Amino acid sequence: MQKEIIIAGFGGQGVLFGGQVLAYAAMDTGKQVTWIPSYGPEMRGGTANCTVVIADDEIGSPLVKNPPLAIALNLPSFDKYEPLIQKGGTLIVNQSMVDRGPKRDDIKVIPIPCNEIAEEIGDRKLLNMVAVGALLTALPELAIKDLEKALEAHLPAKHKNLLPKNYEALKKGFELAMSLN
């Protein structure tokens, strides 16, 4: 098994952290992992993306051209990555920031209002965990409990008070995506 994932959006949306949590969860469950961040020099507000490769065996290359899985947290990311998803792949789309539907009908697009869900939980910064929770519906190799353990183990001490809200964001994203399947 090898799964390649791209997470993309603006700096400040938690793109890189979302990828790190997936990578840590996979690593902590014994999988081979690569995580490569990419962001513009302007950071917050500029473009950001990361690639995560999760595999049972050694990973030959961390580069991802046509992933089977992706998260697009804004319209520019949706426009850029929708054409690159493998046929039959899954694209989680932050419906809060994307005002159009997909152009392709050979991939599964799951629209999730990440911003609104995060705000309901009480912290708009949780939109990344909402999207990652939704992604888990297409990534059976990892369960919500794996991501919860990764958050517990790797979240900086100063943010441990946010664990319950992160868990809630993961679950809400997952549940909504499941209901749309």
Both tokens of 180, joined, read 């749309």
The angle formed by the CA atoms of residues 67, 155 and 50, to the nearest 5 degrees, is 20
DSSP 133-152: HHHGGG-TTS-HHHHHHHHH
List the domain range (segments joined by +) for residue 131.
Answer: 2-180
How far apart CA 45 and CA 9 sit, in angstroms, is 9
- Decide if pLDDT at 144 tops 90: yes
Q: What is the average per-residue pLDDT within 55-64?
A: 84
Secondary structure (H, E, C), 13-58: CCHHHHHHHHHHHHHHCCCEEEEEEEECCCCECCEEEEEEEEECCC
What span, in angstroms and rounded, lies between the C-alpha atoms of 121 and 123? Answer: 6
Tokens at residue 177, please?
A: 């995506």
pLDDT tens column, 24-53: 999 999 999 999 888 765 555 567 889 999
Report the number of distinct structural domains present in the chain: 1
The proportion of the chain whose per-residue pLDDT surpasses 90, expressed as a percent, equals 69
CATH of the domain at 71: 3.40.920.10
Residue 157's pLDDT band (boundaries 50, 70, 90)? confident
In tens, the pLDDT along 103-126 reads 999 999 999 999 999 999 999 899
* Residue 71's pLDDT band (cuts 50, 70, 90): very high
Confidence of residue 159 (pLDDT cuts 50, 70, 90): confident
